[in-house]
Every structure is written in structure tokens, then in C-alpha cells.
Structure 1
Amino acid sequence: MTDSSIQQVVLKIHSRCNLACDHCYVYEHADQSWRARPTVITEETVRQVAERLAEYAKDRKLDSLCVILHGGEPLLAGAARLRTICAELSRRLSPISALDLRIHTNGVTLRPDHLAVFREFGVKVSISLDGDRAANDRHRLDRRGRSSHDRVLRAIELLRTPQNRHLYSGLLCTVDLANDPVAVHDALTALEPPRIDYLLPHSTWENPPPPGPGDSATPYADWLLKIFDRWEQQGRRIPVRTFDSVLSTLRGGPSLTEALGLAPSDLAVVETDGGIEQADSLKTAYDGAPETGYDVFRHGFEEFAGHPGVLARQRGLDGVSATCRSCPVVKSCGGGLYAHRYSAERGFDNPSVYCADLRALVDGIAERVTERGVAAPVYNAGELHFAQVDLVRTLLARVSESVKGDPAGHEAWRVLARLDADPAAAAHLDRVLAHPFVATSLLRSLRGPQDTSRFMALAAAAAVRAQAPVTLGWEQPGRRLYLPTLGTLTLPEPGHVEVEVTADGHLIRDGRGRRWVPGERPEAWRPLETVAAPGGPPLLVDDADPYRECFAAPVAPPLEASDLAVFRKRLSRTRELLDERRPRWSEGHYAGTVTTIVPLIAGAAPQTGAGHGLGALGVAVDFEPEELLRVLPRIAREARLAALRRTADLHPPGNRAGQLLNEAAGHLGDGEYRAAARVLTELTLLPASELTGTGAVLAAQLWGEWAQRHG
């Protein structure tokens, strides 16, 4: 099931600030609840937060959880209190789930003693900075009216030193139309942040954003597109989350930020008094907008997750206004940030107050990046597979920037780079990277929280397949150590593990020196099974990957041996029927569209999921081979179309051609040839500019399939 658990918690540890930013949503907007909050969170409240989070992580079996220390200004809590908070959170959560600790700060008072705490607990630091001195000081002055710029730069220089560089998470910049966008971007990139976030000023229909200096109807899009052009000139050297998210969704991928896209909200906020609230940005809507009535002393996070306000932000397309649902770019903008939709008349049932800007931004990026030539993957299944693995390599490199500061993560990246440089070993690395849920785990790490243990397991699995001599060690947050494409070892308890690989095999050790040799089939080791069939590659049956829960239907728990045997028998029969009735299936365009079978609960329909790589197919544990054979052509076409969209441009984003391609592929997959001809005819009559070269080739292929079947 697509996971809508709470994955991120903003923990307010200090409710006051040493700056007087006039655009701050906490102090300068409708909600003024900060005035009644305790200035500093108490140790008792921290303990209760940690207890509630531990309960929730255990009940939900969360592999990782991100806690963001926030304010006000969190550094005002002091280094000693920060250490107490981090220690308590780590004590309760680390045995259950990988804890990703972060802090968002203005950086003004960042000192070496703070950084010593952050190094001890691996706390990643994001700093707010609005550009060069002139841009930053337009709003970000201290309470005496003095510039904060030099003090923030000193903080960033501390983060850029070798001992702290791995803690440097990125820069947060609020858009101001009065500033030169290129000058702002150049000032930020000069500080070499791992990532930049450009944030639209918090506004609603009741309190619209500041107008631009000219008469443009979309001044915020114009401002951001100037930065996009500069970013392109720089070779996209530093990730910009807004742009990365739009580019991802235009290719059919997931949103990478709460402010854009249709991904469900996974955020909770805990105030200094222990109150559990919705997203902080709602403070800009009206007084009390984020409130739920819950607190950590009387309620758990499971109750919070069921609050109507939380559920409203997890409904995807059904949760946006009718105007947004009919918009061709809704999958990219997602109706905008929830708070920005508010009006007194209709509540949040509106497009974003930035609607025109978001449409212009998405369209502007789409026009700039649309490749109108013909991409090789449309001709050849092998090329498509190669292109998908290449995309995963890009994700892997992006995630590595976050883990390389950790010695274990750095060693894992060195192992992966060494395997990639060896042609013989690279083929084994490709096999692991092609596993569909590797892409899922990397994408989630980019969105946060970072799953370092998964990154380590990925490197270990690739080394095992390549038989590359290496030893990798890391802290395993749960008892189940899953090695992608290989299997699962159930450990006696969480803690330190080492995977040692030699040319003769591999063994796994824990922190107490206990050893398991998977090749000797110990009871604690459960390998993944495959299903072979004549004329095609084996199918992997994966009922263990913790990232496989990305289907509309719930996944089945790991199958008992007898149930797994029956399931494999049904799959073997399906492959036999496929070879009898479609003997050239594995040689055509749809080869490789199904490589990994995930057992779903009984009665579930066969389905692909969301946010995984090419090849995953969810199938009910009690499926019938004839039924799977019937729907497989449609599923394979959907999978190929989604993979092509991740790889190449088929049409300018948001136009009618995209929907027609979906409909044509679906009708052909279902054997509805008359409907397919009608849709393909409409597609053919569109202006030539509505399809790229790749899209035109795909349309011709669909016509060819129609002629072959219909004729």
C-alpha cells in the first residue's frame, strides 16, 4: 500500500527568535499562538515526544524517521540542551528506526560547541539565507535592526570546514521580487551548499503575495525561470529542490517537496508545550489553523495521522479543487502548498494564490527541457533497460552526497564507484540497480529522511553479486537486514553489522561476533526465490523488500514456505501459458516490463505501483494464472509507457497527446481495437508539434500493434 505514515516531525525546541524577519509566518501572520507557548521545550516534553515517536515507529514498522529541530530559532536552546534533546531522541528511536536528525536555523549564533553536538549525533544543518547582503538584509535583520548577513556567512564557513562538511544540508531562500534573481542564485551557489530551496512567500487569497515591479501576470514564475536558466548554464551543479521536483513530475516521477505535486503529506509539528499540530505554514491562513487539539501527553501520532486536516492533505488528486483537477499540470504543481490555497469563503478548496505563477513555471520548465528528437529506448527494450539503470545511477550519485560525510557511507560509495569502473563487476551492479525498489528507496532518501542502512545494504548486495573482496560495516536499525535481490537475514537484535565478501562467498557478522554464512543456508537467512521459464529470464519473487509497499493494495507479509511454493507454481503456470500463446513476448518491445513479482493480499487485482522502477508487478497471493495472463498485456504497456516517460519526452507536458497515448495503450492492452483506432486517429490528427520525435515513433508503433492484431 502506498505509505502515508508520518515520516517527518518538526520539533519546536525554542519558540522565540533573535531575528525580526518581516515575512516570518510564525510571528508576522494570522496565527499568534507563539505568544502563549513556553519559550523552551522541557526535558519532560522531550521524553514524551520520544516515547510517542518510538511507539509510532514500532507500530508502523518505520524503517526511518526524520526529526527536524526547529523554532523560533532552535540554537537559542543552547548546546547543552540540544545535546540532551538529541540524546533522548536517539536513545528511544535508534533501536527501532533509522533516526535522521536535522535542524533548520538562521545560523546567526552557530558556534563550535553546537557543531560538536551535531557531529556526535549526525544532525544535518539547513540555514536560511536570502542571497547577497542587499537581498538578505531586505527582510532578515536582527531585533536591533542590524544586518545578519556576516554572522550567517560565518556559520556557513564553519559548516564548510572538513570536519563539519558532512553536516551541511543546504540553504533555504525566500523569494523576493525586489531582488535580482541571478545575483541571489550566484551568491548562494558560491557557498557550495549541497542543495538550495527557493520558497514562495507565505500568502493566501486573503493576504495575497507582494506584486511584482512590472505588469507581468506571473512575476514569481518569471523570477524563478531566470534562476532556472542560470542553473542550466551552470550544468545543474547544485540541486535546487523546486526545479528537481518539477523535472521529476514532468517525467512521471514523484514530487520532491511538500510545496509541489500530489504526494501525501507525511509531516507533524510538535510545539514547545507538546501540542501536536499540522504543517507550520498553515499559520499564515488564520489564527488556530494548524491546531488539532492533540498533545503528546494525551495522544499518540497514530491519532494525529487520523485527524481530518491531516487526511485532507493525503487525498492526492481528490484533495485539490475542481479547477486544479482539470489543469494539465496538476501532477507537477499539485495545487501548490496547502496553506496558499486558503480563502475565507471556500477554506482550502481553491487553487493556490500562486496558481498562474505555478502554471507558468511548470510550462516554462517543460518548454526549456523538452527534447524533440528521437530517443533510442523507444526502439529497443535493451536500450530502455539501460536508460532506466542510468537514471538510478544518477539518483545514487545524488544520495551519495548525503551519506559520504559518514565514514561508512563514504566507504560504500567507494565500493560502488570501484564496481562501476570494472566492466565485469558493473554488470552485477546493474542487476542490483535495476531492482525496481532500489529507485524507490533512493527517491525517498532524496525527499528525506536519509536511509543510510539501505544505501549500505545496496553496496553490499552489489559486492556480493560481483564477488568483489570488501568488508562493509554499519548500524542496522532493525532486526531484518535485507540485501536487495538476494534475501533477508533476521538478526538477534538491531545494532552493528558487517558484510564480508570474498571470491568464495560472503558472511555477515553482528556486533557480538556472531556469524552467518548465507551460502550454508542458516535458519536465519531467507533467500529470495526466482521462477524460471523457457524462453525468458527468471522472475524474482520479492516478498521482503521494505520499500515494496508502493501499490494501491496492501502487500502480503513474507510468505510461509508452503504458501511460497504454491505462489511460485502459479507463476510458473502463467509463464508456460505466456510462452504457448505469446511465444515472442520476451523478444519484443515489452521485454523486461515485468521482472519482479510482489505478493499482495488475497483478492487484490494485478497492478503496478507508484514511485518504483521498471519491472515491478503486484499480484495477489491467490491469483489465477488465466486472469493474470488476461491483464498482463495492458500492465506491460502501462509499464513501458511509464518507463519511456522517465527516459524521454513523448510530448510537451500537459497537452492532449499524453492522455491519448495512455488511452491508446490501454485499449490495445485490453483488446479494444475499435476504441484504440478512434484514439490513435485523434492522436494522428493533432498538430505535429504536439508529439516529439520519440512520441511520434511510439504512436506509429501503437498503430503497428493495432494493424497486427486487428488485421
Structure 2
Amino acid sequence: MPRPLVPFSQYVIKMHARCDLACDHCYVYEHADTSWRGKTRASTEAVLARTAERIAEHARAHRLTAVHAVLHGGEPLLAGPALLGRAAELLRAALPADCALDLRIHTNGVLLSPRFLDLFAAHGIKVGISLDGDRAANDRHRRFADGRSSHAKVLAAVELLRRPAYRHLYAGLLCTIDVENDPVAVLDALVALEPPRVDFLLPHATWDQPPKRPAGMGDTPYADWLLAVYRRWEELGRPVPVRTFDSVHRTLRGRSSLTESLGLDPADLVVVETDGSFEQADSLKTAYDGAPETGFTVFEHTLDQVAAHPGMVERQSGLDGLAEQCRGCPVVRSCGGGLYAHRYRGDGSGFRNPSVYCGDLMRLITTIRDRIAPVAAVPAQDAPGAVLTDSQLDELAAGHGGADTVRALARAQLGLTRRLVAAVGTASPAWPLVTSLDGADTAALDAVLAHPYTRAWAVRCLQGEPGADLGGMAELAAAAALRAGRSFELALPVRSGAVHLPTLGRVLVGGSGETVLTGDAEGFAVGGRRIGWDTPADAHWQPVRRTALADGWTPALEDTDPQRDSHQWPVADRLPDDEYLAWAGALREAWELIGRDLPGHAPGIRAGLSTLTPLRPGPAGRDVSAAARQAFGAVGIARPATAPTLALLIAHEFQHVKLGAVLDFHDLYDRADERLFHAPWRPDPRPLEGLFQGTYAHLAVTEFWTTRVRAYDGLRNGPAQHARVQLATWRAHTAASIATLAGSGALTPLGVRFAERMRTAVEPWLAVPVGRAAEAAAREAAAENLAQWQARAAAAPR
């Protein structure tokens, strides 16, 4: 049976086929492939327009929620601002409305200027820069053709990106490894530039043209170099995400890699050359002349045809496409055979060889595997009572809440969960293991106690709800002990044929009742099945999957924990791989949008939202989301059709999470007041907490639509008018409900102050012009809602 086609979601678009540097390690100009000599120097509008059409056609056919495009070269800045801007315009205009575009440019930085950055800001183009470290390291290879240093110009480019006006465009730094450079000096130089991310690349090489291995550096100099960087990175507290290290960590736990050079995820990248020809990954230029060519062009062929090219299919074949000795390797799920190009040997075996860096990759991965520590958790807090300062409460009341404020809420929530678990736990046979962990391995225990659904389980037990039992204590004890690397044996319940380990995943063992789990530092065994930390997901082991997003946020997509069914809408079953990938793509784009459109919300979300629980789709045409009052740190969402909607739902639901946490420790209203009130967005009467929660959540909704309306300033199209109606509606609803709260007579002095801060936050949004039609539509919706509410109130028994 033919393998299903893997659609392309990543595109490298060559804007210019020449470069203003003469880097001697460049795979385009200095390796086996010489096709650059025959390429058009710069792309043309015709090529770019047809490229945009092909990408849009492919996105529609495969219902892609996001595509990622990199403007590349040669040196893409040589193409000039006009052509770069036109490329962005064509791509954005062609893509369907429900498909987001992540657009970036990768440059050596030599020509970067405010003129370029203003253009990139206007078009939402993020900038990645190649830099190999300090001046000595960078100038070993990255020089001008006459031998001059490029370092000062590249540093000037990075300093431009670090300015407040351009900081949001700064995508990261890419560093090609040279083992003769000082690894610590290289990392320190890069970290000093405060990049959002660093990539370390092995220099491109094959078995025919192997990488240099200087005398006296041992058999694995590249692993040794990267491990020296890794140790320094840990000493510094992991100050920036490093794609290589993050990918090793993820793949060792059965998750997807962040780079094509590691892991077994299918490649979904295609290159468009300046002449419109489709090519495979650029790295293949290091193998042999013409290696990346497909024979296809944007003018004559679809991207589905390109995806079916034998070379593309081979790069997507995962474990089946590896050499026999790779398939039996203990770290193959992390290594993935290394970068495809690095396997090439011209003796007829082609790419069916281990990587030329095989020994280095083995040493790197196994050493990191043995060093991985339990996930750090929020420190415990045992003291009840008020947990926020006045300034932190004011910050939250204005609708936001920075990282420190949300962490304070999280600490308080963890302390509350500890007390609830203790109230449940003393009768459980697993309680002694829990108490033994609380000391030497507190971080491992707290990582599980901070899981949102731990508290949900404890509350269910204390309230005597059906299905809540002490088996949950054994599950959390086992998960914490495994995180701590403890050796232990424990009986765990089998629920719906599975053994559940909160924050880690579940093992499908079949049956019901109990089974014995034995754990140690290397993993665990249950039901006759051994699971190690490098065991990949399969038909039996279903790990919790995390999605690494920009700025180091890695929320879990929780689809294994039985306690997750804590929301008002039913939860989805375990996501198939294709649906998980769709979720991950949508999340990446939604997080970018939150950072851009709701910057005041992003730090708090990153600090406090650990878990997204997929819900089943709601009624046709209705987006479904929820926050559970007893599950701080989690929101439930049915994946919507567009990334902007997902961004809005995340921000909206996290407002509920924050306010619920505040209400656990601070009185904002008289809890004895049982009156019901009109909420302008609902036809049913609401109690005070419900009105307060809805009002607070709609601060984020109103801010979202305010940003959208400002972005559409001057436009009169359908999306622009829709945004204006939404803003008119939600700001009116929010202002009205704040007035209802303030006039209720039920607010405490702190609640009055909180409501006043909310009112102050809304005031600027009330002044944003939306036009008479939008205002009229908002008034009509409000009147219809009020009529429904009055009808219900009149019909209610007295």
C-alpha cells in the first residue's frame, strides 16, 4: 500500500541566488552542487506570484491551518526591499483566510538596516541571523571575499533587532559548529545578544567528504563540543531555548523533534529556487551535483506532485528509510539517523547509511539522556490567606497579570492542592511513598501536584463524587517517583484498560482491576511491558505530548488523564497523530498572535497555563471552550477552524483561570448574596460569581477585537466590518456588566476597587471608532438579549 502523502507546511523561498559573504563552509557555493551558477540571480514577481498560488492551492487541498515560509538565499537582502515586500504581499493575499502565515527571513545580517526592519514590521516578517559566536569564532569562516571580517556588521544588525521597536521581529541566531572554536565562549557570546532561540548546526558533510576531526580531539569531537555547550547552558540556567538540546529532550520522551536533523518525523519542507524550480532540502547540495533537484517547477507542477517525488517520499519514510544498523540502534527514535544529507556515500548505497556523525550523535544523546533531571515545579506554599499584593491585584484587575503575579497565584494554588491531597491521602496505601518524596524529591512531587487535574481528583474524592477513588493517590505517587528516578513497586488501578500516570501518559494494558508497576531510574514496567524514557509512542504507550512554542512555552495537550473530564463540555479521545499535528500547528500560530495582539496577556499565560485539553467539537458553527474551577492551569478547547479564534479562546479561558485563583484567596463580593443578575451576553440570569467571571473574561475578548479593529484601520472588507461589530458588541457588554457589578451593593471594598480597575481598562476601547453600522448591530444584539432575559425572568417561578 502506498504511503499517504505528507503535505508541505514549510517553504524555503530563494529570493536571491548570490551572497555578499564568502563563507568557506557554505553548502550552496562550496560543496558538491554547482547548480547555483545557472540560477537566475534574483527571483521575479512572476515566480513569487505563482509560488504563492501553489502554496495556497496546497493549503486549501489539505486544510492546513498554518504554513511557514522562510525568505532565503544566497543572501535574501540582496533582493532589495521592494521584492521582499512584494513576496510577503503575494503570500498573504493568496492564502485562504483560515490558514495563518508564519513568515521569516534568514540573513547574514550584513545589509540589515532600519529601512528593511520597518518593511519587515509592516509585513510581519521575523528575522533570523547567522552568527558563529564571538569575533574569533565567526571570522574563522564568515568573511567577505577580500578576507575582511563580517563580525562588526552582524553585531550591528543584531543590535538593531534588539531595539524595542524591532525586538518582536527577532527570531533567533543560527550558529554553525567548528570544533576548533571555544564552545563556552561561543555560547556566552550568543547568549549575551539575548536571542529568542539559538540553533547549533553540524557542518554539512558526507562519507565522501567527511567533517574535519582535528588530531587530539578524540573520536567524537562534535559531541564533546556540544556537550561543553550543554553544560554551560545548564550552568547559566538554560537562558535561551536551544533547538538541538530541546529536540533531544523531546525525542527522548517520545515527542516530536523541532529540527529535521533529529527524530523520525516526516520531512515537510520544500525549496523554491529563484527560477521557480522546486527542490528538496538545501542540505542535499552537499551530497552530489544536482542532488536536490526534482525536475518540477511552480509553473508546471502542483505541490502534490512534488510531495510524491521519490526523493521527497524517501525523506519521509521514517524508520523504514534508515540503514539496518540504525533501525536496531537504542537511540534511533531521538537520532532519526541524523540529517538525511549526512548519510550519503557515493558507493551505490546512497543515503542508506548511518550519519557521518553517528558516533557524535550517539554520545550526545546518551549523555543528555543520563543527565536529564525531573521537571522543575512551582515551589510549594503551605500558608493560607491572601497571596497577592495590592499592586498585583491591580495588575490583574486591569485584565492582565504578568509572569510574577501569575506565578504567585500558582504557588498559592499548589499549596491549596497539597492540603487537599493530604486530606484525601492518609488512608491510601500509596501515602507513605508520597510523604517520602516530599523532602529529598519535592520538585518531582510538586511537578505532579501542580498538574491541574490533581486538584480536580482530590476535590472529587472529598465531595464523594462517583468514580473518585484512592487509586488516584497511587497514580500521582507513581508519576512523582518516576520523575524522581526512585526504585519502587506499587499497585495501580486499571481504568478503561489503561494504567494512568499523571503528567507522563498512559499504558494500554487491557482489562480492569489492579496491576503492579515497578519503577526505577530508567523507566518502568507494567503489565509485562517495559517503558523507558526513550520509548516512543506506540499502540500501547501513549505519552503526554507537549508542543514547544516560541519563548520557551511548552504546554501539554492532555488527552490521557481520566481526571481531565472536568469541563462542562465532553473531552476528546486520544488525538490521532494527524490531529495532534494540526493542533500543534494551530497552537504555534495562536501563540504568535497572542504575543503580537495581546502582549499584556502573553507573560501570564506562559507562566500559568500548563495544559490544554482537547474537547469534542461543539454544535455546528459553534466554538467550544471552558475552564474548570478546580483545575488551575488548564483550559479545555475544541480546536477551532482558525488560529486567531484559538488565540482568542485561550486568552478568554485563561481569564477565568486567573480570576478563579484570585477568588480562592481574596473576597471580592459577599458570598452570601444569592441574587441573580442580567449578563448582556447570556439569556439566563447569573449569580454574582458567574457575572464577575464573564465580565473579567470579556476584558480579553474586548482587547482582542480592539487590536483587530486597529489593524483593519481604513479597510472596508468583510473581516474588517466583522471585527468592528465584535468590538462594538463586547465593549458595550463588558462596560454594562461592570456597571451592574459596581451597582450591586454586594462588592467588598477590594471588589469595588477591582471593578473600578476593570472599568478603567475598558474606557480607552470605548473611544475606538467603529462606525454607525457596527454600533447599530451591537445595540440590536443587546436589545435582543435583554428581551430574552426579561422573558425568562417573567416566566420563572416566584
Output the TM-score relative to the length of structure 2. 0.56
Give the CA deviation at 1:397. 6.0
Give the CA deviation at 1:406. 4.8
Q: Distance between the aligned counterparts of 1:206 and 1:437, measured in 2?
A: 51
Q: Which amino acid aligns with 1:361?
A: L
State yes or no: 1:359 paired with 2:362. Answer: yes
Structure 1 SS opposite 2:106: strand
Residue of structure 2 equivalent to 1:247: 249
Q: Distance between the aligned counterparts of 1:155 and 1:179, measured in 2?
A: 22
Equivalent of 1:433 in 619, 634, 637: 634
Residue of structure 1 equivalent to 2:34: 32
Q: Which amino acid aligns with 2:353?
A: N
State yes or no: 1:473 paired with 2:704. Answer: yes
Residue of structure 1 equivalent to 2:552: 398
Q: 1:283-318: CA deviations, max 9, x gaps?
A: 000111111110000011111111111111222211
State yes or no: 1:157 paired with 2:147. Answer: no
Change in CA separation of 1:255 and 1:503 when aligned onto 2, cut-off 3 Å: farther
Residue of structure 1 equivalent to 2:602: 413
Residue of structure 2 equivalent to 1:275: 277
Q: Which amino acid aligns with 2:370?
A: E
State yes or no: 1:110 paired with 2:135. Answer: no
Q: Which amino acid aligns with 1:64?
A: A
Q: Distance between the aligned counterparts of 1:250 and 1:285, measured in 2?
A: 29
Change in CA separation of 1:273 and 1:413 when aligned onto 2, cut-off 3 Å: same
Q: Distance between the aligned counterparts of 1:40 and 1:105, measured in 2?
A: 15
User: Superposition pairs for residues 85-484 of structure 1, below 5 Å?
Assistant: 85-93=87-95, 95-345=97-347, 346-370=349-373, 375-376=444-445, 377=448, 380-381=474-475, 387=503, 398-399=552-553, 403=592, 406-413=595-602, 416=605, 428=629, 430=631, 433=634, 435=636, 454-463=646-655, 467=694, 468=696, 469-470=698-699, 471-473=702-704
Residue of structure 2 equivalent to 1:682: none
User: Structure 1 residues 382-391 or 11-20, which shifts more?
Assistant: 382-391
Residue of structure 1 equivalent to 2:410: none
Give the CA deviation at 1:191. 0.4
Q: Which amino acid aligns with 1:336?
A: G
Change in CA separation of 1:52 and 1:414 when aligned onto 2, cut-off 3 Å: same
Change in CA separation of 1:504 and 1:365 when aligned onto 2, cut-off 3 Å: farther
Are the equivalent residues in 1 in contact too, given 2:18–2:41 (CA < 8 A)? yes
Give the CA deviation at 1:139. 0.4
Give the CA deviation at 1:54. 1.1
Percent of aligned positions with the same letter in both sequences?
A: 49
Q: Which amino acid aligns with 2:119?
A: V
Are the equivalent residues in 2 in contact too, given 1:412–1:472 (CA < 8 A)? no
Give the CA deviation at 1:206. 0.6
Change in CA separation of 1:88 and 1:365 when aligned onto 2, cut-off 3 Å: same
Change in CA separation of 1:295 and 1:136 when aligned onto 2, cut-off 3 Å: same
Residue of structure 2 equivalent to 1:605: none
Q: 1:261-301: CA deviations, max 9, x gaps?
A: 00110101000000011100000001111111100000111
Give the CA deviation at 1:409. 3.5
Specify which structure has the bigger relative contact order, considering alpha-carbon pairs within 8 angstroms and separated by 6 or more residues: 1
Are the equivalent residues in 2 in contact too, given 1:74–1:104 (CA < 8 A)? yes
Structure 1 SS opposite 2:233: helix
Q: Distance between the aligned counterparts of 1:101 and 1:241, measured in 2?
A: 19
Q: Which amino acid aligns with 1:473?
A: F
Structure 2 SS opposite 1:304: helix
Q: Which amino acid aligns with 1:403?
A: E
Q: 1:351-380: CA deviations, max 9, x gaps?
A: 100000000000111112255987545954
Q: Distance between the aligned counterparts of 1:434 and 1:59, measured in 2?
A: 31
Q: Which amino acid aligns with 1:149?
A: H
Structure 2 SS opposite 1:258: coil
Equivalent of 1:21 in 20, 23, 27: 23
Are the equivalent residues in 2 in contact too, given 1:166–1:405 (CA < 8 A)? no
User: Structure 1 residues 205-214 or 93-102, which shifts more?
Assistant: 93-102
Structure 1 SS opposite 2:704: strand
Q: How many residues matched?
A: 494
RMSD over aligned CA atoms reads 4.0
Are the equivalent residues in 1 in contact too, given 2:277–2:297 (CA < 8 A)? yes
Residue of structure 2 equivalent to 1:68: 70
Q: Distance between the aligned counterparts of 2:236 and 2:211, measured in 1?
A: 30
**Structure 1 portions without partners, runs of 5+:** 442-449, 478-490, 522-711
Change in CA separation of 1:344 and 1:426 when aligned onto 2, cut-off 3 Å: same
Larger radius of gyration: 2
Are the equivalent residues in 1 in contact too, given 2:176–2:200 (CA < 8 A)? yes
Q: Distance between the aligned counterparts of 1:2 and 1:453, measured in 2?
A: 29
Q: Distance between the aligned counterparts of 1:494 and 1:308, measured in 2?
A: 44
Give the CA deviation at 1:147. 0.2
Are the equivalent residues in 2 in contact too, given 1:476–1:495 (CA < 8 A)? no
Are the equivalent residues in 2 in contact too, given 1:403–1:452 (CA < 8 A)? no
Are the equivalent residues in 2 in contact too, given 1:67–1:99 (CA < 8 A)? yes
Change in CA separation of 1:298 and 1:240 when aligned onto 2, cut-off 3 Å: same
Give the CA deviation at 1:435. 4.7
Q: 1:394-430: CA deviations, max 9, x gaps?
A: 8686249973895414144266379879xxx985595
Change in CA separation of 1:28 and 1:411 when aligned onto 2, cut-off 3 Å: same
Q: Distance between the aligned counterparts of 2:226 and 2:238, measured in 1?
A: 14
Change in CA separation of 1:149 and 1:414 when aligned onto 2, cut-off 3 Å: closer
Q: Distance between the aligned counterparts of 2:607 and 2:243, measured in 1?
A: 29
Residue of structure 2 equivalent to 1:52: 54
Q: 1:441-462: CA deviations, max 9, x gaps?
A: 9xxxxxxxx9565333322243
Give the CA deviation at 1:81. 1.7
Give the CA deviation at 1:473. 2.2
Change in CA separation of 1:474 and 1:271 when aligned onto 2, cut-off 3 Å: farther
Structure 1 SS opposite 2:119: helix
Structure 1 SS opposite 2:290: coil
Structure 2 SS opposite 1:293: strand
Structure 1 SS opposite 2:147: coil
Are the equivalent residues in 2 in contact too, given 1:429–1:462 (CA < 8 A)? no
Q: 1:203-225: CA deviations, max 9, x gaps?
A: 00111001134141111000000
Are the equivalent residues in 1 in contact too, given 2:263–2:334 (CA < 8 A)? yes
Q: Which amino acid aligns with 1:262?
A: L
Give the CA deviation at 1:83. 1.3
Are the equivalent residues in 2 in contact too, given 1:475–1:495 (CA < 8 A)? no
